[in-house]
């Protein structure tokens, strides 16, 4: 059992609620980071094989968190934006391809797709949150040239939680790739990759997972 006050020795006058921005570190996380820094300072990279094993275990645990097939399906990158950039710049885009996304999504999940304009890819920003049926509005925007839908699990400003299963089913039906930014929900809400079957999922750990940014 974890004794939470011992893990979060915060100012007793502080009631921390803003995990949607940056969550506070647990005490064990701060100690682990400090121990790693001390080890690196004193012994350099002599423990590199051990560090690689830590990364392997981390990927395995992250795979379990989202129900991915294995840790080999997990890539550790600097942040969500880098993950989005790897996908946006790594696909074999064709002139005239389209990306469907949410107007007013977090900037990192719009700018990477807008930047594809120079490659002949059109980013179609759908004002879905103005609709009584946001998912339906996104699905209706899928056309013959749509290659990918980019969406967040939870909208960063309104807190709207998208029906990922419905969007994923529509993408599969139309042969469209699905890219999911899960940073606003991972650790607070279940994300089952085996059920949603998204093609790409990105998330940082510094919000609900309470890890270093």
CATH code: domain of residue 160: 3.40.640.10
Residue 189 lies in a domain: yes
Tokens 């051990």 locate to 50
User: So what's the pLDDT on residue 101?
Assistant: 99
User: So what's the pLDDT on residue 34?
Assistant: 97
Residue 15 lies in a domain: no
What is the separation of C-alpha 109 from the centre of its chain, rounded to a whole number of angstroms? Answer: 10
Token pair of 105, please?
Answer: 């999504």
Token pair of 32, please?
Answer: 């682990």
Residue 60 lies in a domain: no
Residue 105 lies in a domain: yes
User: Quick check: 84 and 112 in contact, CB under 8 A?
Assistant: yes
User: So what's the pLDDT on residue 4?
Assistant: 78
Residue 163 lies in a domain: yes
Residue 34 lies in a domain: no
Q: How many domains does the chain have?
A: 1
User: So what's the pLDDT on residue 12?
Assistant: 84
Centre a 10 Å sphere on the Cβ of residue 106 and count the other Cβ atoms it contains.
18
Residue 140 lies in a domain: yes
Burial class (CB in 10 A: 0-12, 13-18, 19+), 198: buried
Mean pLDDT of each 10-residue bin along the chain, 213 residues long: 78 82 92 95 95 96 97 97 98 98 98 98 98 99 99 97 98 99 96 96 95 90
Domain, as residue range, for 189: 77-202
Residue 177 lies in a domain: yes
Centre a 10 Å sphere on the Cβ of residue 109 and count the other Cβ atoms it contains.
23
- Assign 210 to helix, strand or coil: coil
User: So what's the pLDDT on residue 6?
Assistant: 86
């Amino acid at each position: 059992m974890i004794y939470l006050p011992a893990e979060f020795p915060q100012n007793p006058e502080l009631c921390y609620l803003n995990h949607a921005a940056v969550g506070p570190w647990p005490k064990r996380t701060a100690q682990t980071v400090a121990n790693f820094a001390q080890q690196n300072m004193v012994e350099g990279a002599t423990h590199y094989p051990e560090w690689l094993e830590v990364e392997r275990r981390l990927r395995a645990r992250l795979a379990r968190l989202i129900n991915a097939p294995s840790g080999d399906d997990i890539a550790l990158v600097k942040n969500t934006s880098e993950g989005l950039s790897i996908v946006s710049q790594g696909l074999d885009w064709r002139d005239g391809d389209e990306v469907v996304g949410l107007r007013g999504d977090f900037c990192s999940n719009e700018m990477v797709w807008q930047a594809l304009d120079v490659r002949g890819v059109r980013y179609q920003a759908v004002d879905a949150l103005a609709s009584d049926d946001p998912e339906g509005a996104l699905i209706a925007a899928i056309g013959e040239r749509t290659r990918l839908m980019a969406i967040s699990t939870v909208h960063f400003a309104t807190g709207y939680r998208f029906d990922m299963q419905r969007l994923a089913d529509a993408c599969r039906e139309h042969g469209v790739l699905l890219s999911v930014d899960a940073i606003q929900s991972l650790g607070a809400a279940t994300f089952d990759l085996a059920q949603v079957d998204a093609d790409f999922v990105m998330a940082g750990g510094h919000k609900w997972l309470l890890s270093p940014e």
